[in-house]
Amino acid sequence: MTDNNEQQQRTAAVEAGAGPADTRELDRLVESRTLELSALSNHLQSLAEKEKSALARTLHDELGGLLTAAKMDLSWLQSRVDTPAHQERLAQLGSVLDEAMSLKRRVVEDLRPSLLDHFGLATALRAYVDSACAKAGLQADISVPEDSRAIPKEIAIALFRIVQEGLNNIIRHAGAQRVRLELTSDDTNYAFTLSDDGSGFDQKDHADPWPHGIMGMQQRVRALGGRFLLESDSGTGTTLSVSVPAGTR
């Protein structure tokens, strides 16, 4: 995330024959600006997750309550109206309300997966990957521990979002038939590997299909003091490996 202007200044200084002291000062400025941008990115990601969580609660509690009340009123009307034409219109209204409630649930889950908060990372990842792969026609091979609820929420949501971004890229770009997710945790690290058997891409090619997604995933991992590795080559599929220290808070 180095500022382009600072990179250009450093290059120009080197080409102009700047001394070692000048070059070190430019390096210091570049490092300082990089740390500032990294801290800002971490803050914005954390703020975005808090806003998503708050919006999900509002939709679940308030909009959900309104839709439930509307369904109850509709049932009351249906029990008291016997005109076939009116019954048909009320049935249509019931179908619309059902669709609205289903849409509300999908939006809430996208904003903040309820399984993540109630049952932990392993359960949330299994459900998400199974569902996304089924919709995309991919075969999913998932290996996760039975219980990962002890993983701190900050780490759990970060790992979930990284898997989410990685899987979305696989579905959009990889042309894969099979996806494998393996999640592990111990006293020192939380880690996962997400791989596919798709077309892959040449990492030396600046036109690779994941550039912005990669930067976002890398930033999330960096904020947690973890390690990020993306391995791919044309025709060999792609493997994403992430490891985060268990002591991160």
pLDDT digits (tens, 9 = 90+) for 64-101: 999 999 999 999 999 998 899 999 999 999 999 999 99
239 or 147: whose pLDDT is higher?
A: 239
Shared-domain flag, residues 49 and 135? no
**Token output for 150:** 């002890």
Distance CA 153, CA 155 (A): 5
Say if residue 193's pLDDT is above 60: yes
Which amino acid type is present at position 154?
Answer: E
What is the signed CA dihedral for 34, 35, 39, 40, rounded to 10 degrees? Answer: -30
**Token output for 99:** 């669709």
Shared-domain flag, residues 223 and 145? yes
Nearest C-alpha neighbor of 142 from the set 160, 152, 158, 127: 127
Shared-domain flag, residues 60 and 141? no
Q: What are the residue ranges of helices labelled H in 16-83? A: 20-58, 64-78
**Token output for 42:** 């971490």
pTM for the predicted model, two decimal places: 0.72
Shared-domain flag, residues 38 and 133? no
Give residues with Cβ within 8 angstroms of 227, minimum separation 6: 221, 241, 242, 243, 244
Shared-domain flag, residues 214 and 138? yes
Q: pLDDT per residue over 200-227, tens digit each?
A: 877 666 455 555 577 788 888 888 888 9
- Domain boundary at 78, 112, 146, which? 112
Q: Are 164 and 136 in contact (CB under 8 A)?
A: no
118 or 194: whose pLDDT is higher?
A: 194
* Structural domains counted in the chain: 2
According to DSSP, the β-strands at 139-143 and 178-185 are: parallel
Give residues with Cβ within 8 angstroms of 132, minimum separation 6: 167, 168, 171
Starting from the edge strand earliest in sequence, which strands make up the sheet with 227-232, in order? 139-143, 178-185, 189-196, 238-245, 227-232
Q: How many CA atoms lie within 13 A of 19 on its CB side?
A: 1
Nearest C-alpha neighbor of 131 from the set 168, 88, 93, 94: 168
Q: Are 175 and 199 in contact (CB under 8 A)?
A: yes
- Domain boundary at 85, 112, 139, which? 112
Q: For 1-5, 21-25, 93-97, 131-135, which range has the lowest pLDDT when averaged over its residues? A: 1-5
Shared-domain flag, residues 130 and 239? yes
Shared-domain flag, residues 123 and 12? no
Shared-domain flag, residues 216 and 146? yes
Q: pLDDT per residue over 121-154, tens digit each?
A: 889 999 999 999 999 999 999 998 876 557 888 8
The domain of 25 spans 1-112
Shared-domain flag, residues 128 and 107? no
Say if residue 166's pLDDT is above 80: yes
* CATH number of the domain where residue 172 is located: 3.30.565.10
Shared-domain flag, residues 186 and 207? yes
**Token output for 102:** 């289903």
What does the pLDDT read at residue 2? 42
